Chain A
Amino acid sequence: MSRVLGGLLLALAAMAQIQRLPPRMPAGQDTPTGHGVIEGTVVDAATHEPLKKAKVTIGLRAQTPPTAFTDASGRFVFRELPAGGFWVNASKSGYNQAQDSLGADSNLQITLGADETKKGVEIALVPGGSISGRILNEDGLAVRNCYVQAVQPGYEQGKRILTAVAGGMGTTDKGEYRILSVAPGRYYLFAHCAAELPAPHPLLPRGDPRTPHETYVPQFYGGGLDPAAATRVTVAAGASLEGIDFEMRRTRALTLRGSVTAADLEGPPDNVMVMLYLANPLMQNLMQLSASTDPRSRTFQIRNVIPGSYRLTAFTRREGHSASVERTVEIGTAPPEPIELALSMGADLKGAVQFDADDHQEIENAHLLLTPVGIRRYGSQTQAEINKDGTFTLAGVMPGHWRLTLNGFGYVKSLSLAGQQVSPYDFQISPGASGPLQVLVGTKMADISVTVTGLVGGGQASVLIFPEDLDRLGAGLERVGVGGSQLGIGGLPPGHYRLFATDAPNPWILQQRPDLLKAIESSTQAIDVPEGGHVSATVEVVSRQELIRLVAEKEQ
């Protein structure tokens, strides 16, 4: 069975199993009030027409946030507000919150003085576009229960991956689909019809493994399973994109069978989850097939697999111990041979830390964190407390690429595994590997004072510091400081960094996007951070509009 997002989630939510409401407190308790007033309108961002029955909520510490529904003039008023800062949020079916290209929601922030009346607050909602079309098969007949998803490239754990951002319900009996509330932008469209179809065959026992089946090949709009060859469509605010049709092709559907064993796990493996992904890392979120193992026979079968290159993973967890295995699988047009998966618990890596100086804080405050390099769906992080004598054990480490960071004070200055020097940012654990891990902790970290130039009087700037080597993103080397034209940022390990300053409100999103950091490179300031001590730097502020322009240029 395959997992699909979008419409299926919507349908599940509507099916509403018993929901529990929080106990209700009488209104008025614990709600601070004053005599402040916030008054405003909600408008359509494209036409500037007022929006009726938009839901407006204000972030107040009350049991239920005060909610208003705008009238025909788009008007809303909140009265008896205390002094302070609030966010004001508007929503309406078919509309999306205005988002800048950085992907940040613009929840309106309002600061209210005591008994102040603030008028003319305007919230613009972007009308969602829609994408619709029809899905037919090669016989010209409508295909029902197909799911079409609007897909965009994103980042997960630092790696580029395609993710569905909008979807609808399955195609109707007429093969028609519609995706609503699509934010303006460029999208791939991915159609997936998950049905296992019969194929002609002579007399065979029902359920016989030789019984042939077919299924439809999932595809991008523009053809094929390769996003590089796919057509991207552009959705403008409020626009309806129609006639985005697909012709689905049938292919042989195969069943992958196998069994699991777990030599080093105590007792037989039960509750094992087996997952099959396309080998292409870009596609992992779009096509996943999974199965759980039968507890008695410890076998699994994944049906409806089309020929291709895959990664097969199995994972189980019991009493805090996890065991897993991963391997590549090639599926051709012939029924595949059964696969035996041997789960292993991973190695316990022992090690010790040493410090590069004698004056350092107590070890008890620090622990080591092992995180995977690349996308992992299960059993990701491993943590180890450092004992008083400096020793530690990282339990159950699976083969693969890992990164070691230190939480607490200091940083991992150098790392060796079984006597070999390795990079703490990306080192490999092979099957059957053992330690010891020797960690050298760097204790000297630098402070940086940043002068931001070009700020318009009284404005605020956010300063980003990130490693020059973008492969080191996510290892605790990024910092953000927010303030006026003078900022201080402390506790940075030595190395090559880049500085970036902007007056845009939510720049920290950039930190997860190596592609965007590359785009703004020309506006960054290189800085060499020494081991300990103090450094000064100056950087020119990049305005929000300029930042959006740089990002948009990159998106072309």
Chain B
Amino acid sequence: MGDARLSLAVAWLVAAALVRAQAPAPSVPYASISGVVLNDATGTPIRRAIVTLSTLSTLDTPPLEAVTFTESNGVFGFTAIPPGKYRLLANMDGFERATFGASTPARPPVTLNLAAGDGRYGITFRLRPLASISGVVLDPDGDPVANASVRLLRAGFARRRPTYRSVGWTSTDGLGRYRVTDVLPGQYVIMAVPQQHEPAALVQPDVTVGQSVSQKMYALDFYPDTSRLSAATPLLISPGKDLDGIDFHFTARTVAPLHGRIAVPEDAQANLHVQILAYPQDIPEGNFQGAAAMAMPPDFTFEFPYLIAGPYTIIATLPAEGREYRAVERMELPPAGQEITLHLEHGIDLTGRVDLEGTGYRPADPFRVTLSSGDSFPERSRPAAEVKPDGTFTIANVFPGIWDINVSPVPHGGYIKAMLLGDQDVLNDDMTITPNTHEPLRIVLSTRGGGVTGTVTVPQGVPKSARARVLLAPSGKYEHVLSYYAVAAADDAGHFELKSVTPGRYKLYAFEELEPGSYEDPGFLKPFEKLSEAFDVAEGGHVSRQVPLIQAGTAAAEN
């Protein structure tokens, strides 16, 4: 009903725009919006900021968008807006984008409900300036190093463990200088990586032909001047900070040659070559900067002559007749070099079945089971299989290691009830595949998920804007299972709803501000646990709760 009126009005408006008629601002039947965009750090207006008004998008139709720029005094306006629900967004180069109502990404955005004749004035955006980091990379003589790669690593969590993720990189110019821009506030480690295979430029004027010169290569450098990630000092970047002087000093190390052989099993074809990749463990996503070598039949020996001492992950792969063979070794390469033997193993075929409990649901598409690596090995592809009409599936080529299981589509309102490898619970615990795994994987889906609804209550004296982010967290022995956590946004009245809840014991928290993914940090909820009472959700059951608002700034999430 409202939609039909909206699309008709929009069609009129669009047609009017095409004829380039200056839309007269009638008080009926349209709404209008105006406001200002400011620099959050200085309070000064931002001119030529881009403000976008958009309708809410649905699954089928793209949203409608209108764009305007701010004037030199930071002011913007939209007129002749057809009544409806809208979001408002402001962005500008060098600043974090902001959605109206969400002063930081930690807060949920506001939906503007505009009726005919509505005027919303004085909408203020405060954009947080992004930071930048710059400096120079020098060699042991203090001379600049060109074409070194400088990478920014952001501290975070993955699978409830602290980790670093590469969020950007740049390279040094001919003067050894670099600049990384558009850095979001946060904690970072910054590192410099020398150009691959470039020997260290060291004075060596006297060369005798026929004599091998001992090569020296530069080591990775984490700021400030350590070659191990664990010893790096994180930088705390605040909004708008222009951090200069973050310099790196490469050290030259004698090469530590790595050589060895690959033990190729009998049943693998003996006339193909094995590809080997060696990459430093300390670089996240370091597999993109690995050194490569090949091992050829019949001996399958290999050599990495240009590595330096340090921690490496070595991966050898051999594709043979539709199966892939692989060997993985995590090692600490000593300064003198090392000789190793890698034993190729093939992946197993993981069989199983998917059963659906509950009535009234027929999936439109077949189920699909996908595995993703749980022990952070770089996987080129995710082993997956489509489930046959009889409910069985076979995933081919699953290598030994820890695997996370994903099954889709989960029935609407339903949940994943069980995952068993043989009789081992792999829903709540890691699934570890070995070369000897032969048990089937049984997955049970149920249509009867639980539901949790409720209201966020606001303490005395706090203005009644209870728009919070509500976190549902498993309590008790399944606290570590990430897939049981869920977040819902409460509306203007503080109401929230969570569906498809796996039956179990939970606690609810309502945060005024919640950074996405914060619950991946196992220590995050500890300060708040006493504020919440645990409750049970039964299969198909429905629970209603009142949750007190945890205001922003209450107890640091870190430490």
Which stretch in A72-80, A300-308, A427-435, A545-553 binds the other chain?
A: A72-80
Which residues of the other chain, A, contact B93 by a CB distance below 8 angstroms?
144, 173
Taking Cβ atoms with an 8 Å cutoff, the residues of B that contact A are 10, 13-14, 16-18, 23, 47-48, 50, 52-55, 57, 61-69, 80-82, 93-94, 132, 141, 143-144, 146-149, 169-171, 173-175, 179, 181-182, 195-197, 201-213, 277, 288-294, 303, 305-306
A78 with B207: CB separation less than 8 A: yes
Q: Is the CB of A201 within 8 A of B66?
A: yes
Binds B, one of A204-212, A230-238, A273-281, A399-407: A204-212
Structural contact, A206 and B62, CB atoms closer than 8 A: yes
Contact between chains at A76 and B205 (CB < 8 Å): yes
Of B61, B65, B207, which is within 8 A of A77 by CB? B207
- With A21-B306, A144-B93, A168-B173 known as contacts, the answer to whether A206 contacts B64 (CB < 8 A) is yes
Q: Which residues of B contact A20 (CB under 8 A)?
A: 292, 294
Bound-state CA distance A181–B293 (Å) is 34
Nearest 3 pairs of A and B residues by beta carbon: A180-B174, A27-B212, A14-B171
A59-71 toward B: CB 8 Å interface, digit per residue (1/0)?
0101000111111
Most buried by B among A169, A203, A207: A203
Most buried by B among A14, A33, A66, A75: A14
Out of A10, A26, A168, name the residue touching B147 (CB < 8 Å): A10
Contact B173 A19 (CB under 8 A): no
User: When chains A and B are docked, how far (Å) is the Cα of A205 from the Cα of B149?
Assistant: 41
A68 is contacted by which of B148, B204, B277 (Cβ under 8 Å)? B204
Q: Which of A18, A21, A55, A203 contacts B10 (CB 8 A)?
A: A203
A68-B207, A79-B208 given; 17 more Cβ-contact pairs under 8 Å: A10-B147, A19-B196, A20-B292, A21-B306, A27-B210, A28-B210, A67-B207, A71-B205, A78-B208, A80-B210, A172-B179, A172-B181, A180-B173, A203-B55, A203-B82, A205-B64, A206-B63
Closest-CB distance, A81 to chain B (whole angstroms): 6
Q: List 12 A-B contacts (CB under 8 A).
A: A10-B147, A28-B212, A52-B203, A55-B201, A67-B207, A94-B174, A173-B181, A200-B68, A201-B67, A202-B14, A202-B66, A204-B14
Chain A positions within 8 Å of B212 at CB level:
26-28
> Which residues of B sit under 8 angstroms from A203, Cβ to Cβ?
10, 13-14, 17, 53, 55, 64-66, 81-82
Enumerate chain B residues within 8 angstroms of A10, measured Cβ to Cβ: 147, 171
Pair B174/A16 contact, Cβ less than 8 Å = no
Q: Which residues of A contact B13 (CB under 8 A)?
A: 202-203
Are B149 and A15 touching (Cβ within 8 A)? yes
Question: When the two chains form the complex, which single residue of B57, B65, B82, B170 contacts A204, counting CB atoms closer than 8 Å?
Answer: B65
The answer, yes or no, to whether A422 is at the interface (CB within 8 Å) is: no
CB distance from A415 to the nearest CB of B (A): 52
- B174 contacts A210, C-beta separation under 8 Å: no
> Cβ of A26: which chain B residues have Cβ within 8 Å of it?
212
Nearest-CB distance from A25 to chain B (Å)? 10
CB distance from A123 to the nearest CB of B (A): 13
How many whole Å from A271's CB to the nearest CB in chain B?
Answer: 24
Report whether B17 and A201 are in contact in the complex, using a CB–CB cutoff of 8 Å: yes
| Residue among A26, A70, A201 with the highest chain B CB neighbour number at 10 A | A201
Q: When chains A and B are docked, how far (Å) is the Cα of A201 from the Cα of B63?
A: 14
Contact of B211 among A27, A52, A69, A168 (CB under 8 A): A27
With beta carbons under 8 angstroms apart, the residue of B47, B66, B197 that contacts A21 is B197
Q: Are A202 and B17 in contact (CB under 8 A)?
A: yes
Chain A positions within 8 Å of B, measured between CB atoms, are 10-11, 13-21, 23-24, 26-28, 31, 33, 52-53, 55, 60, 62, 66-72, 75-81, 93-94, 139, 141, 144, 168-169, 172-173, 178, 180-181, 198-207, 210
**Alpha-carbon separation in the docked complex, A513 to B205 (Å):** 40
Inter-subunit contact B205/A75 (CB<8 Å) = yes
Max chain A C-beta neighbours (<10 A), residue from B62, B182, B196:
B196
Least CB distance from A347 to B in Å reads 45
Residue of A33, A172, A204 with most partner-chain B CB within 10 A: A204
CB nearest to B175 among chain A residues: A180
Taking CB as reference atom, which chain A residue is nearest B47?
A139
| Nearest Cβ on chain A to B241's Cβ, whole angstroms | 13
- The minimal Cβ–Cβ distance linking A241 to chain B, given in whole angstroms, is 15
Please measure, in the bound complex, the distance between the C-alpha atom of A15 and the C-alpha atom of B149, giving whole angstroms: 7
Main secondary structure of the interface of B (DSSP, over half): mixed
How many CB-defined contacts (below 8 Å) exist between A and B? 168
Distance of A55 Cα from B64 Cα, bound (Å)? 60
The answer to whether A71 touches B203 (Cβ under 8 A) is yes
Contacts A11-B171, A17-B288, A18-B290 known; A79 to B181 CB distance under 8 Å? Answer: no
- Determine if A200 and B209 form an interchain contact, defined as CB atoms under 8 angstroms apart: no
Instruction: Quote the shortest CB–CB distance from B272 to chain A (angstroms).
Output: 17
Using A19-B196, A69-B202, A206-B62 as known contacts, say yes or no to A181 and B69 having CB atoms under 8 A apart: no
For B81, B205, B208, the residue with the greatest tally of chain A CB atoms inside 10 Å of its CB is: B205
B204 proximity list for chain A (CB < 8 A): 67-69
CB-CB under 8 A from A172, the residues of chain B are 179, 181
B63 pairs with A169, CB closer than 8 A: no
Known A14-B147, A18-B290, A21-B197; judge A70-B203 contact (CB<8 A).
Answer: yes
Q: Identify which of A15, A31, A53 contacts B143 (C-beta below 8 A).
A: A53
Please, which residues of chain B bring their CB within 8 A of the CB of A69? 201-205
CA of A84 to CA of B283, assembled, Å: 47
A28 to B17 alpha-carbon distance, docked (Å): 78
Whether A173 pairs with B182 at a CB distance below 8 angstroms is yes
Q: Which residues from chain A contact B211 at a C-beta distance below 8 Å? A: 27-28
Query: What residues of chain A lie closer than 8 Å to B64, measured between beta carbons?
Result: 203-206
Shortest B12–chain A CB gap in Å is: 11
- Once A19-B292, A173-B132 are accepted as A-B contacts, the answer to whether A53 and B206 lie under 8 Å apart by CB is no
A200 touches B303 (CB 8 A): no
Q: How far is the CB of B135 from chain A (nearest CB, A)?
A: 14
Across the interface, name the chain B residue whose C-beta is closest to A13.
Answer: B147
Which residue of chain A has the shortest Cβ distance to B23 in the bound complex?
A: A202
B34 CB, min distance to chain A CBs, angstroms? 14
Q: How far is the CB of A178 from chain B (nearest CB, A)?
A: 7
Min CB–CB distance A439 → chain B (angstroms): 50
Alpha-carbon separation in the docked complex, A364 to B61 (Å): 67
Distance in Å from the Cβ of B288 to the closest Cβ of chain A?
A: 7
Question: What residue of chain B has the Cβ atom nearest to residue A77's Cβ?
Answer: B206
Which listed residue, A24, A31, A75, A206, touches B65 by the CB 8 Å rule? A206
CA–CA, A60 and B195, complex, Å? 26
A199 touches B67 (CB 8 A): yes
Question: What is the bound-complex CA distance between A55 and B213, given in angstroms?
Answer: 14
Given contacts A27-B212, A180-B174, contact A200 B67 (CB under 8 A): yes
Whether the Cβ atoms of A53 and B173 lie closer than 8 Å is no
CB distance from A422 to the nearest CB of B (A): 52
Smallest CB-CB separation from A36: which chain B residue? B209
Q: Which residues of B contact A70 (CB under 8 A)?
A: 203, 205
Contact in complex: B195, A178 (CB < 8 Å): no
Nearest CB in chain A: distance from B518 CB, A: 29
- Return B469 CB to nearest CB of chain A, in Å: 26
Q: In the complex, how many angstroms separate the beta carbon of A309 from the nearest chain B beta carbon?
A: 27
Give the distance in Å from the alpha carbon of A200 to the alpha carbon of B52 in the complex.
9
Assembled-state Cα–Cα distance A202/B81 (Å): 9
Kindly state the separation between the CA atoms of A19 and B278 in the bound complex, as whole angstroms.
Answer: 12
Residues of A within 8 A of B62 (CB): 205-207
In the assembled complex, which residues on chain A have CB atoms less than 8 Å from the CB atom of B182? 173
Q: Which residue of A lies closest to B201 (CB)?
A: A53
Q: Across the two chains, which residue of chain B brings its CB closest to A144?
A: B93
* B150 (CB) vs chain A CBs: closest residue: A14
Residue of A with least CB distance to B181: A173
Given the known interface contacts A20-B292, A203-B65, the answer about A169 and B209 at a Cβ–Cβ threshold of 8 Å is no
A94-B174, A144-B93, A172-B181 given; A18·B277 CB < 8 A: yes
Residues of A within 8 A of B174 (CB): 93-94, 180-181
What B residues does A52 contact at CB under 8 A? 203
With A19-B197, A201-B67: A53-B293 Cβ-Cβ less than 8 Å: no
* Chain B residues, Cβ within 8 Å of A80: 208-210
**How far apart are A417's CB and chain B's nearest CB, in angstroms?**
52
